[in-house]
Structure 1
Amino acid sequence: MNHDGLKESLQTLGGRLRTLRQQRCATLDDISERSGISPSTLSRLESGQRKYTLDLLLPLAAVYGVSLDELVGAPPTGDPRVHLRPVAVPGQDQMVLPLTRHHGGPHAHKHVLPRGATTAAGQGLHTHQGHSWVYVLHGRLRIMAGARHLLLSAGEATEFDTRLPHALENVGDQPVEFLSLFGSQGERMRLVTSWEEAPGLGAGGPGT
């Protein structure tokens, strides 16, 4: 990495650290407990007011379940494959597999909640800035958002404002798997419905 590339990566590192923490619905105190780094130091790292050193970044990479290269945004070194690894959410009995690697904008994840598990375990209902879209792949999932409860089965989807106190719960007899799209700034899914007919194809497609 050249000097300009290193400088750019360090300038955006604080934002990446904040995004990683928010994606896991973790507080500064949660990450402090797992990393041994004080909440005030974590806050200064996220705001770019503290110098980034290996003795701070290595524990954070371990807590977030990412490599040091992924944490600092190092450029690829010749391997075009995307290596995504599941990570455990602090204080919750669930595994999360990040499906996107970009910084900023909505992020996609695959979640697995074991039988009887809930995202509220040990922490109560969550509330934070953003908007979430959820699609169930397998099992049955209950979503509690504010005063509303909704039960989803495989093939069903919903969305909700994460500023509402919320939690997700596996109410089936087997692990529930679901996809989520989360926008930390409140970005919502944009449904595009204006279809155009391809030249030479009828309304029914090929063969009509």
Structure 2
Amino acid sequence: IRDKYLLSKFLSHKLEEGFSVIPGKEYEELDFENLSFPMIAKKRNGRSSEGLCEIEDEDQLGFFCNKMWREEEKNYIFQRKIEGKVYTVDYFRGHGGLDRALVRKENLRTKNGAGVSVEILPEKGIERQCKRIAEALNLYGLVNFEWIYEEQEDCFYFLEINPRPSGGIGFSVLAGAPFVEEAVSFYLSEASERDADGEDAVTMRSETKPMADFPSQKPENTIRYGFYGKYYDDFYLS
């Protein structure tokens, strides 16, 4: 899932209407007679906006490509730039059909991609897409998804999956979602299975509970995590 180029191709036919990927092209695939600006250049396996560059015109593209070839760094893809608000989804998937998602719209975001003022939203469509993607990729554990909403097109564009908790997981904890407890239980269970050696082995396995067993879980038509629409400001965990 770190390879943004292959991931976008894999997901391009797996999303519902109103959701899409941003097609990425390698340098060799660019049509220099039909370029559209602005565009984004980023590393196929980059992390935390590593190496990301916004390109406004052909001159900047030429300068960037010369720099890329001079440094022998060819591991870049080029994408159309999408303007809009970023939505981060903390997502946990465990055994026995357990999965949980919480969507945050990032109203204020640092340059390296950390949301510092967020709004918790009941975006069922995004939650459903994250579940579909996790199942397609056979993902388990605690990860985070990023989407960007393009208002004129009324479309959520998939940005990336980070195979770790989001930097702002504390917002989800403040809103009442037990992601940390579920993740710890899941990973201890996985570790105990790997360490077990015969009947005499000491196990630390924690049973994964269905969602209904957690006190924070509410019916679908009521608030599930704190208050939807509540703003959380000035709280950031690096």
Q: Given the two structures, how large is their TM-score scaled by the length of structure 1?
A: 0.35
The answer to which structure, 1 or 2, has the higher relative contact order (CA under 8 A, 6+ apart) is 2
Q: Given the two structures, how large is their TM-score scaled by the length of structure 2?
A: 0.32
